[in-house]
């Protein structure tokens, strides 16, 4: 009887201790809920921010979905745990031929027919917001790794698409009578994967998505670079260790643009070519896979026939004479892509000395446009290049003052999933408002 009573007391004591442990764990977990990393040094990107509450996202469930994505992307000691995991795999020789990196997103269904786009209000751009971090995050947060190569998956989001379309249409309306507007949307490197493999991975159809954008443009001409890239996808169009396309990939878009303009493209073998190797890019920086290091990329750059001279202005307004294709052979192994147009600057100008008269073009771009810009030099009297991520001038006023004939908006298809892109376009186009 006494033993039975002692057992009951012991049972209650254990229950109390367990309860206290759970309460303590809950307190610690609750305290850590908001004590989470904001950036990843390992992945060189800004992590998902805690979503801003709006009644619209609350009612449609998007707010809770965004919290879930934030929670999984910002767990405490994230970089340390990822490094430890990778080191353990390296020590014990654990290798996966394929793997997914990052948080899988839920894609919206892509409308197959032209429709009236939803009016979505632009999101204000924070003054201290880093476009580089946000836009790189759009691409590098969902990687499919196969045999030492990283492929960026694409997930269509209806609201982001409509926001971008509306911004482009407003831009074109403001440029009507001044410049002809073109849109060049670049597919991710996952385009080179077999169709059945892509379908299994659950990403959105990039061709359908690009067609959706192009069908809903008004006074904006979409450039069908997808078809050219698809036909040549067995070639070296994208890097294995970096999210960018190669100059050969950019050349396919150049041919598509020439077709739209009615021009004969310059033959690839007619260019003087510089090669920079080895090259280990952004995906390698994130993953640090031995397979990538053992099989690095190389960067081929094609020097325009007309000139290799250019001028650019940095964010402080300093003017620098530079080369369209610079020699970066003495730079680090991660710097190969910087050979194109001096990297990302607010404004660059390339003047073609072989043309006394001719038209001008403004390329509004992010980093994918760096390897595309050199191909424009031989066709225009003046090539203006503006990186909208660090631009402050009014584009509409600039086009009018400089009598710009053509304006090309170039963006990777994942990057425009950032609402900051459309919002910035709206800011840069508001002439006299």
SS3 letters for the chain? CHHHHHHHHHHHHHHHHHHHHHHHHHHHHHHHHCCCCCEECCCCEECCCCCCCCHHHHHHCHHHHHHHHHHHHCCCCHHHHHHHHHHHHHHHCCCCCEEEECCCCCCCCCCCCCCCCCCCCCCCCCCCCCHHHHHHHHHHCCEEEECCEEEECCCCCHHHHHHHHHHHHHHHHHHCCCCEEEEEEECCHHHHCCHHHHHHHCCCCHHHHHHHHHHCCCCEEECCHHHHHHHCCCCCCECCCCCCECHHHHHHHHHHHHHHHCCCCCCHHHCEEEEEEEECCHHHHHHCCHHHHHCCEEEEEEECCCCCEEEEECCCCCEEEEECECCCCCCCCCCHHHHECCCCCCEEEEECCCCCCCCEEEEEECHHHHCCHHHHHHHCCEEEEEEHHHCCCCHHHHHHHHCCCEEEEEEECCHHHCHHHHHHHHHHCCCCC
**Ramachandran quadrant class, 432 (left: phi over 0; alpha: psi -120 to 50; beta: rest):** left
Whose CA is closest to 229, among 246, 209, 205?
A: 246
| Domain-located, residue 41 | no
| Domain-located, residue 106 | no
| Domain-located, residue 39 | no
Instruction: Give the pairing type, strands 272-279 and 297-303.
Output: antiparallel
| Domain-located, residue 61 | no
Rounded Cα distance between 179 and 118, Å, is 26
Structure tokens at 25: 């764990």
Query: How many Cα neighbours within 13 Å face the side chain of 24?
Result: 6
Residue 92 has what pLDDT?
A: 42
**Ramachandran quadrant class, 177 (left: phi over 0; alpha: psi -120 to 50; beta: rest):** left
Residue 385 has what pLDDT?
A: 97
* Residue 185: domain span: 131-428
Rounded Cα distance between 29 and 20, Å, is 14
* 369: Cβ contacts below 8 Å, ≥ 6 apart: 363, 385, 387, 410
Residue 422 has what pLDDT?
A: 87
Number of domains in the chain: 1
Rounded Cα distance between 38 and 78, Å, is 10
pLDDT tens for the 433 residues of the chain, in order: 555 555 566 666 666 576 566 555 555 554 455 567 766 554 444 566 777 777 666 665 656 656 666 665 666 665 555 555 444 444 444 444 555 565 555 666 777 766 565 554 444 443 433 445 555 555 666 788 988 899 998 889 888 899 999 999 999 999 999 999 999 999 999 999 988 888 888 888 999 999 999 999 999 999 999 999 999 999 999 999 999 999 999 999 999 999 999 999 999 999 999 999 999 998 998 888 999 999 999 999 999 999 999 999 988 889 999 999 999 999 988 899 999 999 999 999 999 999 988 999 999 999 999 999 999 999 999 999 999 988 888 999 999 999 999 999 999 999 898 888 888 888 888 754 5
Residue 60 has what pLDDT?
A: 56
Whether 156 contacts 211, CB under 8 Å: no
**Ramachandran quadrant class, 219 (left: phi over 0; alpha: psi -120 to 50; beta: rest):** left
SS3 letters across 70-81: HHHHCCCCHHHH
Give ∠ CA 354-306-374 in degrees, rounded to 5: 135
| Domain-located, residue 213 | yes
| CA 108 to chain centroid | 19
| Domain-located, residue 420 | yes
| Domain-located, residue 179 | yes
Rounded Cα distance between 224 and 386, Å, is 22
Residue 89 has what pLDDT?
A: 45
| Domain-located, residue 115 | no
Whose CA is closest to 82, among 47, 109, 128, 125?
A: 47
């Amino acid at each position: 009887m006494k033993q039975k009573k002692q057992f009951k007391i012991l049972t209650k004591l254990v229950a109390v201790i367990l309860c206290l442990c759970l309460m303590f764990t809950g307190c610690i977990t609750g305290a850590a809920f908001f004590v989470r990393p904001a950036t990843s040094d390992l992945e060189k990107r800004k992590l998902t921010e805690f979503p801003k509450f709006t009644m619209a996202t609350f009612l449609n469930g998007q707010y809770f979905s965004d919290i879930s994505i934030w929670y999984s992307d910002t767990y405490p000691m994230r970089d340390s745990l990822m490094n430890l995991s990778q080191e353990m795999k390296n020590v014990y020789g654990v290798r996966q031929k394929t793997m997914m990196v990052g948080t899988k997103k839920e894609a919206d269904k892509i409308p197959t027919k032209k429709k009236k786009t939803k009016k979505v209000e632009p999101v204000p751009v924070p003054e201290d917001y880093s476009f580089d971090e946000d836009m790189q995050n759009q691409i590098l947060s969902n990687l499919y790794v196969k045999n030492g190569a990283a492929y960026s998956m694409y997930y269509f989001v209806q609201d982001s698409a409509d926001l971008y379309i509306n911004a482009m249409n407003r831009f074109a309306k403001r440029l009507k009578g001044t410049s002809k507007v073109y849109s060049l949307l670049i597919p991710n490197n996952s385009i080179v994967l077999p169709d059945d493999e892509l379908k299994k991975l659950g990403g959105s159809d990039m061709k359908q998505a690009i067609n959706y954008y192009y069908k809903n443009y008004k006074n904006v001409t979409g450039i069908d670079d997808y078809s050219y890239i698809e036909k040549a996808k067995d070639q070296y169009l994208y890097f294995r260790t970096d999210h960018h396309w190669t100059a050969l990939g950019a050349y396919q878009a150049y041919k598509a643009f020439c077709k739209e303009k009615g021009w004969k493209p310059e033959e690839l073998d007619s260019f003087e070519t510089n090669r920079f190797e080895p090259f280990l890019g952004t995906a390698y920086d994130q993953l640090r896979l031995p397979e990538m290091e053992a099989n690095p990329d190389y960067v081929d750059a094609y020097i325009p026939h007309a000139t290799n001279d250019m001028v650019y202005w940095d964010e402080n307004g300093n003017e620098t004479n530079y080369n369209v294709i610079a020699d970066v052979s003495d730079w680090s192994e991660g710097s190969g892509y910087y050979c194109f147009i001096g990297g990302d600057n607010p404004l660059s100008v390339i003047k073609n000395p072989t043309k006394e008269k001719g038209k001008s073009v403004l390329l509004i771009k992010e980093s994918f446009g760096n390897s595309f810009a050199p191909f424009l030099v031989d066709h225009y009297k003046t090539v203006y290049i503006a990186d909208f991520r660090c631009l402050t001038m009014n584009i509409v006023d600039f086009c009018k003052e400089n009598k710009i004939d053509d304006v090309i908006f170039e963006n990777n298809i994942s990057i425009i999933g950032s609402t900051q892109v459309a919002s910035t376009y709206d800011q840069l186009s508001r002439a006299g408002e």
